[in-house]
Structure 1
Amino acid sequence: MPATTPAQITLSFSRSAGLVAIAHGEQYLWAQTALTHTGFLRRDDGTYAVALDDVRLRHGLAASLVRSAHQHQAAVTTSHRPYIGDVADAIAAYLPGAWNTTVEVYSHPLWQEDLVPLLWDAGELTHAIQHERVPYAAVLKDGAGTELLLVERPGHQSDYLVGAFASEAFDDNFADPHSPISIAITAAPQQAARAINDRFLPAYHRALHARRVEAISSALERIDEEHATLEAMRDSGRYSDGVPLTAPAEQLAVFEDQFADRAWLAFVDVLTHAPSVLEQCSRSTALSTEDEAVLAELHEVLRSTQPARDEWNAQTAKSYARPPRKFFHERWGGLRARLGAQVMPAIATWVTEADAFARIARAATPGGQMALAAPAPWPAPSGPCPPLQPRQPLRAVDLRHHRHC
């Protein structure tokens, strides 16, 4: 990131707020002090502003700010761009639906680094956040889970960059292969909104759908593999490395608990992402009778898991972490195993229909009416999910053996 003056003040004009100032730099507190001494008032979003409706105040403001900034070793820069909050508001007004905007200030250079793991982007925006100084930005939210980040495009006089934050349901967003690509937009709000609506949002929704489908398929595959290992031990009376079980009944009961525990952990991904994917699939007009039956069955068994989901959500809501990592600790294995056993029939149905689900879901990738500019389709996976092996179907792991049934 380029070296800068330790304390800086960037000024921009806002039609509603007057003159807006943003203090930033490693010694941003010096800049904040200079602004306070000049009559600027701190606002809730971390910016400072002074109204310009008083002619006398406006006349002496510039000289007063320069003197105060000099005294506090802060450099003052007047931006040729309008206040970014006004830009975001103007763009949001042209986007379909109800969008709200907020301004974020990253006064210290290290603060913007917190954005990197939250961004879901494979384009210029991530590069700018990592390598350029971005002291402020605007966030646009549609109220349905879509959150966009708007920043001034480095090295350009008037353009902006817009990209997406990842959904809260995902971790490990950096370099995710599904990441949508941020786009550069003009300063003209109507044109910018059209670019976002026609180009970026369709690509974003396709990428989100693909990522959800992959998360579900991966979870079901993990469960299937775990079940295969357990079934092999039950049939052979041996560990996976061939060593005989010394007390098969007791040991298998423990292994079944462990399987239910791990199955629940994996199935949480299904519970999280399946409702949105199934809703998208239901919009498809090309479903066969068989596909409709599969979707109906998956919908039904998903509804049957609601009590377990409610209990899990109630427990994890008590954690301040996101995601609530403490509930992945060994001490919570009993809760997870009990919930896993409780929803095992639903898990069995989802694993059995994993291939059909993946095929239907990938065929239902969104695009359609929003994508007026017809961006290139998201590349399909290299192949279908591996088929289930022809073995005994996954059942409730003989829940009669389960201590938590």
Structure 2
Amino acid sequence: MPAPTSEINLATSRSLGLVAITHGEKYQQANRALEEAGFARLPNGAFTAPMTDPQVARRTASALVNRAHEHGATITTSTRPYLGDIGTEIAALLPGPWNAGLQIYAHPLWQEDLFPMLWEAGEIYRALEDHRLPFASVLKNGSGTELLLVERPGHRSGYLLGALTDREQEDPHDDPTTPHSIVLPSDPRLAARAVTHTFLPAYHRSLHHQDLNTVLHALERIREEHETLQTIKDSGRYSDGVPLRNSRLIAGMERDFADHAWLSYSDVLEHAPVLLTRCRPAATPWPEDAAVLTRLREALAHSQDAWHEWNDLGDNLYSVPRTLPDHEWSQVRGQLGLAVLPAIETWLAHTKVFERQARAAEPGGPATLSAPSPRLLTTSPTPPSASRSAPVHR
């Protein structure tokens, strides 16, 4: 078994001077070497030393070599500039308000935290699997888009960029909507151009397809149970042919259906509004679909009270240390499902029209026109899971 490592990566920054990032199973020893050599620690966990005075810089470098040797730390000098600067420079050149921040994964196990957040199955995913990536720059636009920028391993220059997500996702290797990472050049202007004109359009198309698939899968789940319930009601028999002996059983089945249907329909309420805003039937071969899209928007509008009630209930429960028992949750969902049943049936009746219009409205596709109109619904998320935060630098 190889001995635990303690490593120091050195890079230069125009504004910070010499930047040092520690990593390895014994990264704390490297931290002590830097502190004793006179480096100052930044909030993100990196260490810096100025290079404005050549004599001071030489003394600091000499001290670092000695302290690193005493603490068993290995020093590596990077051929690239400090990644924190590169991320900031690229972010400043992207359209709209973007910012970038360096994250450090000092212990080798910490970079594994990126896997469930990485919406990617290309080169950057393989880089995480096969290489040690002790730091990365995360670019954010304030509207939920987060991009991961890392140095391209095995190359003396260039970077890899992929997408991060806090959504639940399938295995990215099996999900056709997964956006693929791209290789960026070293020049920040060329890199920003590639992000703007290549990566972000593909990323937004992937989001569109994922949202559309979420809605379609939700409707398919509802449709299957709805058809089963209708068959039982029409025939007066269970699916195995046994006759129904009590009309109250039908009412119970309807409540159970409404309970399950609400859970799926909440996906429609969350993701369908923005998809509908992109639909431009006049720019497609089916301009007559406009009337159907109007009915679908109206169905969402009629569901708005139930949607707000559901989210308000979730917010209230998460603000106090208690939860509803399962049977009470089922009762609430059933009541909401029955309240929006006409809207659900409208969506079931017009799923195919919605699908073809939403597919034609793919961002960057032939049916994309001017900026979409405001969203019909202002959807609030269902009770959130624990929020993602930057790794703690110990």
**Residue 333 of structure 2 is aligned with which of 329, 336, 355?**
336
Q: Is the 8 A contact 2:281 2:287 kept in 1?
A: no
Q: Which moved more, 1:234-243 or 1:186-195?
A: 234-243
Find the residue that maps to 1:171 and give its secondary structure.
coil
Q: Distance in 2 between matches of 1:261 and 1:57?
A: 71
Residue of 363, 368, 372 corresponding to 1:366: 363
Query: Partner residue of 2:233?
Result: 234
- Residue 224 of structure 1 pairs with residue 223 of structure 2: yes
SS at match of 2:116: coil
What are the residue-to-residue correspondences of 1:162-311 with 2, within 5 Å?
162-166=161-165, 168-175=166-173, 176-246=175-245, 248-282=246-280, 285-286=283-284, 288-311=286-309
**Would you say 1:355 and 2:352 are equivalent positions?**
yes
- Kindly indicate whether residue 17 of structure 2 is the aligned counterpart of residue 18 of structure 1: yes
Equivalent residue for 1:44?
Answer: 43
Corresponding position of 2:155: 156
Tell me the TM-score normalized by structure 1: 0.82
Please give the per-residue CA displacement for 1:161-185, whole angstroms capped at 9, x wherever unaligned. Answer: 111123x344335322211111111
Q: Find the residue that maps to 1:82 and give its secondary structure.
A: coil
Shift of the alpha carbon at 1:149?
Answer: 0.8
* TM-aligned CA deviation for residue 338 of structure 1: 2.0
Partner letter of residue 144 of structure 1? Answer: S
Shift of 1:134: 0.8
Partners of 1:316 and 1:327 within 8 A in 2: no
Question: Which sections of structure 1, spanning at least 5 residues, go unmatched?
Answer: 321-325, 372-405
Identity value in percent:
48
Deviations 1:178-222 (A, max 9, x none): 111111110111111111122212222222211211111111111
| 2:359 partner amino acid | R
2:102 corresponding residue in structure 1: 103
- The one-letter code matched in structure 2 to 1:62 is A
Structure-2 residue corresponding to 1:374: none
1:150 and 1:206 map into 2 onto residues whose CA distance is: 20
User: Contact 1:226/1:259 (CA < 8 Å) preserved in 2?
Assistant: yes
Q: Matched residues in 2 for 1:284 and 1:252: separation? A: 43
Cα distance change, pair 24–344 in 1 and its aligned pair in 2 (3 A): same
2:374 corresponding residue in structure 1:
none
Distance 1:327 1:273 in 2: 26
Q: Could you say if the C-alpha distance between residues 76 and 265 of structure 1 is closer, same or farther in structure 2, counting changes exceeding 3 Å?
A: same
Counterpart-to-counterpart distance in 2, 1:56 and 1:128: 39
In structure 2, what is the Cα distance between the partners aligned to 1:315 and 1:72?
55
How big is each residue's C-alpha offset from its partner over 1:214-270, in whole Å with a ceiling of 9 and x where there is no partner? 111111111011111112222233332333445x33322222221111111111211
Partner of 1:312: 310
Amino acid at match of 1:131: D
Secondary structure of the equivalent of 1:260?
helix
In structure 2, what residue type is equivalent to 1:104?
Q
CA distance in 2, matches of 1:284, 1:143: 33
Number of aligned positions between the proteins = 362
CA 1:250 to 1:43, structure 2 compared with 1: closer, same or farther past 3 Å? farther
In 2, Cα distance between the equivalents of 1:155 and 1:223? 49
CA RMSD, 1 decimal: 2.6
> Distance in 1 between the 2:49 and 2:325 partners?
49
Using a 3 Å threshold, how does the CA distance of structure 1 residues 194 and 239 change in structure 2: closer, same or farther? Answer: same
DSSP-derived class of the 1:11 partner: strand
